[in-house]
Amino acid sequence: MWLRVDPRLSVPVYQQVVDGIKAAIASGLLRPGDRLPPVRELALELTINHNTVAKAYQELERERVIEVIRGRGTFVAARPSGRPPDYEERVKTLQDEMRRIWIEAYHLGLDADTVQEMFRAAAPGAKDAKEGTGDAVGRRGEIADEDA
């Protein structure tokens, strides 16, 4: 299954579903027009309550990531050409999160170049992102050599 949730995490399960679907779209695993599983089917697959999946789908629809077509199903939406209604709020949230990451990186002794390379490695299509390792930093805070 391309989507996993872990109820032991501090992130709410519905948010894990939202984040997982967004990540699958960003990585190209899911493309505009792809049909998502029905709510109950995905809930059974993930062994979670169907209301949790419904809440995740509602959030994704609100963010214009997916579209629900009555009688046909739920589909990955085409990337919108305009900005979502809550664009400013979401950009501020993203900036706050990036600021938090930079502060944490500083306290780990990572320099700006290393953090930027970590962002690149985490991007959809990057080797580490595809392989699911997510660990671009070596033991000494250096970028891991892909050929090593």
**What range does the domain containing 143 cover?**
83-148
Judgement on whether residues 89 and 147 belong to the same structural domain of the protein: yes
C-alpha distance across the termini of the chain, in Å: 30
Instruction: Kindly write down the DSSP assignment for every residue of 41-70, as one continuous string.
Output: HHHHHHTS-HHHHHHHHHHHHHTTSEEEET
Q: Give the chain's domain count.
A: 2
- pTM value? 0.66
Q: Residue 74: beta bridge partners?
A: 36, 68
Domain-located, residue 3: no
Residues in the chain: 148
pLDDT digits (tens, 9 = 90+) for 54-95: 999 999 999 899 999 999 999 999 987 778 778 899 899 999
Q: What is the pLDDT of residues 134-144, one digit of tens each?
A: 433 443 333 34
Residue 137 counted as domain residue: yes
